Structure 1
Amino acid sequence: MLRERSHSLLKDQRGATAATFGLALFALVAVGGLGFDYARLAGMDSELQNAADQAALAGASQLDGKTGACLRASAAASDPDFLTNLTLLANDGGDAEITITPEPDCDAVGNIRFYKVYIDESNNEPADDDSNANFIRITIGTRAANYAFTPLVAAISGDARAAAVAGVGSAICRVPPVMMCNPDEPVGNTNANYDFDANSRVGVGIRLVGDGSYAPGNFGYLNTDFGNGANALLAALGWDIPPGDCARITGVDTKTGLNASVIDGLNTRFDIDANGNTCTTVDGVTGTCSPSVNVRKDLVRGNSCGITGNGWEENDANSANYATRRYRPVSAAPISQTPEIMGLPRDMCHAWSATGNCTGGANGRIGDGQWDINAYWRSHYGANYAGEINAATYGAQPQGYPTRYQVYRWEIDDLTRIGTPKAGQGGKFAYSKPVAGKCLATPTDPYGVVPGGNNVDRRRISAAVLNCQALSINGHETNLPVVKWVDLFLVEPSIDRTRCKGGSGGCNTKYTDKTDVYVELIGETGSGTAGQTAGQVVQRNVPYLLE
């Protein structure tokens, strides 16, 4: 009997699990402890990273390129009254509040750093002043989580730290999506950031060529994700409120589709409705294409509002009277005649032929700001210019007399200066203001858009300046760096102009091309928050995390 019981006991496996569990208990406790403690470490890491992200975004919101930007960014990122971040899972004896030490200098090397360019931690370019501090990097110091269970396997604590980089993504809105190739870009340039000095050229005329190519001084369009083809571009240039998204201040996309009919969108701003269909409909939406209140130009209107078919056209002239009927100089010098019909003209070095003899920029596309103000004054006010426009009111006059944009504004400030239609030859008239019920006139007097307040200036546009050669632009490219945005005044409608209509004596001499857009440089684009440009440009700045 005893032998049978001993034999059964040897075969009995009841209770074996307890022994196995006892042997494995140490490992199970270690694994459970690891899970608990490393969950705490991961949570602490998230707390630190959230703090770094929020501080970087707060700091980036202050990077506007203005004086004190780095100081303001540092204060925003480190001020505990502005941002409160806690680490509840760190138990190293430190304060639960996460602190960031201010570093007010743009070239700081502490836990707040500023960069001109930031691709990654090893590929960057530190900033050295407020104007080029484009990115902010925040580093949160190391914090520790003392483990509760893991010491059983000889691990005492875990450390974590965090870093974040943020910049500002900016866009400008309510502007036509126009770009121009940097007229200063030298042949063979490979620097995508080659500068264009806009503010030293206030009042200078620029001949922008729209032939579909991208040589220095040519212009084209930006993509704002609104429709395809010429109709969408026509709407973007002509509608009072341009359709599509805002245009990024940098990282823009170019858009193909340039042709002569697209430029008719700009001509609507001069009260020209080319053949009655310029203010186009896109995807079932019809825009409004209002003229400026001041549309004085070197064209006369017959019975229609287009450029052809007895509409807006050049004043009739022949080889005997071309110099008095219209402003048609034969050299880059002031004329002695008084033109019967005259709009604001080109720089004199551009005005006497299709290409002129200006020496500024590539291919002479940039003028010198010298325009024949006396001929214009004689044509409209009966005598040479005599200082009627006060520089203290309208701004500096680099040539010693007003820019064309200043004259335009001065005329708007008292509409009686442009109020009387001027008779041309053959029963045609030159209207300096839109006429009630005609062409693109707005519904109420004064029948055109008066700039200021919430109204945009219909003869003022903004354009992105790109280095087209360095960027190898040839059509549709994406994410292109912008040298700067500039404000441009539309000087004249875009049409083919010749010396005269018939007869002999070189009547076919060409003065302008339909695909040219002639502008005067106003200066670098601002935010449009005050004064004459109120409502002109809306700038939106949104901070974003880079890493």
Structure 2
Amino acid sequence: MDSAFCHCKCHRQDGAVIVTVSLVLLFLMGFMGIALDLGHLFVVKTELQTAMDSCALAAAQELDGESTALTRAVSAGMTAGNLNNVNFQSATWSGQGKVVSADITFKDSGYLSTSTAANAKYAQCQHTQSSVNMWLLKAMGAFSGNGAAYPNTQNVLALAVATRASSQTTCPIPVGLKPKTGGTAPNYGFQVGEWVDMIGKGTQVNGELGWYNLDGSTSASETRAELGEPGYCGTKLGDTLGTPGTQTTVDTPWNQRFGIYKNSDPGPSVNHPDFSGYAYTSTNWTNAVPQNAWSGMPAAGSAPSAANFTTKRAAFASYDDTGSSLSGGDSITGLKLNSFKTLATPGTGGQHNLYGFSRRLVTSPVVDASSKVIDYACMFMLQPLSGPTVDVQLEFLGNAGDKASPCTTNGLAGGSAGPLVPVLVR
């Protein structure tokens, strides 16, 4: 009798233990699911925030107040944001959609929404990554039979806001400008719109540009590296620049900014062009000094297709206006580009638009006789290089520290009067 009673009771206790263990396991799995899936969301949030930061900084760099600023800012923001990978470094963002133009908006100085380029002071990038899978919570829902209590997916939102501010350090190109004799700040004897000779080989004199290494070295390979992407950042007032030896390969990264590539180059998606590659020489732009190819009107005798760069940039024009191969020669500027055969394609759907950044509007150190940085100039790259040691010209567009300057460099913000750099404010 007692044995039968014990046998029955023990079996009932065994069943209770199984139920208890099951409930505990379910409870523990819930905690594991929350930890794992929240960790997943945190990773996605971090990656998405990096993409939005990149988007906002690139968009803010274009807010120069010109009529095309917002169009360029949207294009640059989308390009920079979508270079990032999201959802455990998925290149396609797990197929849930990448940054689109509607994700990029602009604010005025009072932080009110604006669609007027002259008023836009802040660029805002905001994107929601939808349908991020919840791995264990989804399994919990299936296990418990209560899917409503355990969501299969979640959405993740990230937002970033950037503006332009004065810098402490900059990321200029490795090309230094010597003031004209007797020239003083802010323009050092140059007229806005004036074309300035850059000496490819030989001795640079006052009033000219020349090659300088921003890191202070004398290596010609360093010059090429500083001219390419991502370039060299950290240049400060008072730095002494290096004077490199004979250049041999700087024409490649220089011409990439114009959307002009050698056949072996991976092309615009890797080595980004400017929004336009259209070039200017005295052959197709006959204006007297100051020539003002940046925003002026072409003088009589200029090429029939000639227009200022702000116009060409708005049309995403290529070097030869068509985007065709250069193998048959250059019919625009009269330059001979030898081994450079391939052009970025023009137009709204072309590679200048899809992959473009502001890469021909550059900051150049102003240097004294001892190669010391005393200021920064805003310069516009006019022509590609037909060889690594040839002379070309750039257009002087004023002091880069001027709040009205169209130039924006990269670097560390927080200066009192340095060139403008994009900086995150949210």
- Give the TM-score of the pair, scaled to structure 2: 0.35
- Give the TM-score of the pair, scaled to structure 1: 0.29
- Structure possessing the higher radius of gyration over alpha carbons: 1
